[in-house]
Amino acid sequence: MEAVVKKETNTPDIILLLVTLILVTVGTAMIYSSSSILALEKFKDGQFFLKKHLFFVFVGLIIMIAMTKIPYEQLKKVAYPGVIVSVVLLLLLFIPYVGIRRGGATRWLNMGVFSFQVTELVKVAMVIFLAHLLTRKVHHLKKFNRGVLIPLSVTTVIMGLIILQPDFGTVVIIMSILLLMLSLAGSRITHLMFLGAAFIPVGIWLIMHKGYRMARLTAFLDPWKDADNTGFQLIQSLISFGSGGVTGQGIGDGMQKLFYLPEPHTDFILAVIAEESGFIGVTVIIVMFIFFLLRGFMIAFRAPDLFGTLLAAGLTMLITMQAFINIAGVMGLIPLKGLALPFLSYGGTSFVMSMLVVGILLNISTQRT
């Protein structure tokens, strides 16, 4: 007789919620601090970016709360449609005047009054899809053809469309999440090693094939070799970290944001935090993301079913891996990838999708066996 799994409804994970709210609060303050001069110069309104971000915060909180009320099992219904929509949206990017090109990449859809970063939705859709598909195929995952090949094929198509934008950083994140979820679902270690070994030479080829990726690599190794061009961003970021010292210059008193540090309110917001709040401020941010990682995986392993475990683990990996890639890149530990820092960087699509992820995690945390 098959055992019945009983689910108990509990309060959402308070620690995960508090960590998120702390990061959102810090992010809001630092977006204003880092963007006010730029906004005044460009839009004649020092609060331009702050006002837009506060709107995103409002929308994000509403979506987060809504997702805590919708049972996560209902997400299975959007797993396959989500992948189809993802492919369609990624293809739309290549239509002139529909896809918006910024910074050498076509990642945004022109929606008229606003733009939409497609890959932010695609990453979440892929986690939901993989969680549902791997749950259905759990008894076949020991066999490559029946269990691994289909999720790998779909993921490869998605990654292929993303690399054409181009967006190498997102491809690395999606591939890493696929390997994690395959591992948690019970795939053979030999299959995982094969996939990892196959991805490494492909990744090396993609880096060698594009000159700007090689330029980023050489700039990461020696940014002062080309200080006025490829190494400029990293050098300005490192100056911010050095200027901040232990306690920082004080919130609002940083100098690098005054047209020295490119994109101070988006990809490089941690550099502004480093200059204005010092080593202490950066440490707090890193600790917050470590807490997010620990609580997210705790939610995953306490989930009442495999779908919940895979979903929570994949979404946690999505947030924290992007965070640590951004942090490491801005600190000069790895090549820069152009990824936003979740909850902290300015960007409506990224912020709203991150809050949606938190809502799903909180929903899963309310149920346990």
Ramachandran angles phi, psi of 339, nearest 5°: -100, 140
Lowest mean pLDDT: which of 59-63, 96-100, 127-131, 359-363?
Answer: 96-100
- pLDDT over threshold 90, residue 246: yes
Mark 295-331 as b/e (b = at least 16 C-beta within 10 Å): bbbbbbebbbbbbbbbbbbbbbbbbbbbbbbbbebbb
- pLDDT over threshold 60, residue 4: no
- pLDDT over threshold 80, residue 212: no
pLDDT score of 126: 97
Cα–Cα distance measured from residue 192 to residue 190, given in angstroms and rounded to the nearest whole number? 5
Count CB neighbours of 98 within 10 A.
14
pLDDT score of 211: 60
Q: Are the CB atoms for 135 and 185 separated by under 8 Å?
A: yes
Which residue, among 351, 296, 362, 363, has the nearest Cα to 60 in the 3D structure? 351
Residues 6 or more apart from 81 whose CB is under 8 A from it? none
Mean pLDDT taken over the chain? 89
Cα–Cα distance measured from residue 83 to residue 206, given in angstroms and rounded to the nearest whole number? 24
pTM of the model: 0.92
Q: Is the model more confident about 209 or about 125?
A: 125
At 342, the amino acid letter reads P
Which residue, among 165, 243, 163, 238, has the nearest Cα to 199 in the 3D structure? 163
- pLDDT over threshold 80, residue 37: yes
Give percent of the chain above pLDDT 90: 59
Cα–Cα distance measured from residue 365 to residue 198, given in angstroms and rounded to the nearest whole number? 35
